[in-house]
Amino acid sequence: MAKEIPISTSEMTSFDEMSDPYAKVLANNDAQGLQKIYENNPDALFKQINACRDTIFHIAAYNGRHESLQVLLKMVPQSRKRELMKMKNSFGNTILHEVATTTNVRAADLLIRELLVLHENDIRQREDILGARNKLGETPLFRAAEYSNKTMVVYLAREIERAGNLRSHYKRNDGTSILHIAVIGQHFETAIWFLKKDFQLATYKDKNGKTSLHVLAGMSSAFKSSSPTQGILKGAFYNCLHGGACHEDETDELPLNLQSIDLEQGRSSKGLEESELCKGIF
């Protein structure tokens, strides 16, 4: 059962008053409309504007609105960019958590390039932001494995490895591993990539003592392929996991324009999350 979020009458009135103009401009992907709303009131960029306590950045990131994010970021003072990147909604998600659930790597790259420029004395803060955990203990990388595709996962993993330890992202609070979640979401291209990266993930057990192989064996739907390509990926993952033979033509190279011809479409397992109740109207 979803946890009820207490909202006062005054807060709800404020959210209702603000949602209509934001809904229109974001639904139409109207970046210039957003600029008109915020250019004379930049402090409003940091306001939480719905019942899930999202900022306008959370909503634009969740919907993968690259152009909108680009326009909004230009209005953020340099001195407040780190503050923006650390802001969390009621689920503990940062802006990076939200964009990680999309397949828009360009939007993720924009946020990191604008807000996480790497300086020699800056590595710890960068690691903290990339490794921020929501209330479930999920990092942005973990959410990408759950909802996005391999291209987003590879991109975030590379950014993490520039300043931190990838293994610290492998588990959330309930013991579910990043490989478990990729399998549960049937993101097998992502799962194969993780196994090639660190085969020790195959030994990780969830709170019920099950490895990813056990989880896969119990998923009859995983072998009822919706397409020949998915069937090949599922079979390849099973062989990789069971025998350690990962011979798929996998590459860590990202497309130059960050637009992937990824076999995984992303969010295929995404049901109606609590957060979607807030962001769906946008």
Say what the pLDDT of residue 203 is.
Answer: 92
- Which residue bears the tokens 């790597």? 105
> pLDDT tens across 123-155, in order?
788 888 999 999 999 999 999 999 999 999 999
CATH tag for 16-254+264-277 (out of 1.25.40.20, 1.10.150.120, 3.50.50.100, 1.10.357.10): 1.25.40.20
Percent of the chain with pLDDT over 90: 49
Per DSSP, the residues of 105-129 read: HHHHHHHHHHH----GGGHHHHHHH
Say what the pLDDT of residue 164 is.
Answer: 81
What are residue 218's DSSP bridge partners?
none
Measuring CA to CA, which residue among 185, 162, 48, 147 is closest to residue 116? 162
pLDDT at 21 over 80: no
Work out the average pLDDT over 54-77: 93
Domain boundaries, the chain: 16-254+264-277
Contact at 8 Å (CB) between 183 and 216?
yes
Give the residue, 63 or 243, on which the prediction is more confident: 63
pLDDT at 271 over 50: no
Rounded-to-integer distance, Cα 224 and Cα 262, Å: 21
> pLDDT tens across 200-249, in order?
999 999 999 999 888 888 876 655 555 555 566 667 776 776 666 675 55
Give the residue, 37 or 270, on which the prediction is more confident: 37
Work out the average pLDDT over 23-51: 83
Chain-wide mean pLDDT for the chain?
Answer: 80
Say what the pLDDT of residue 62 is.
Answer: 94
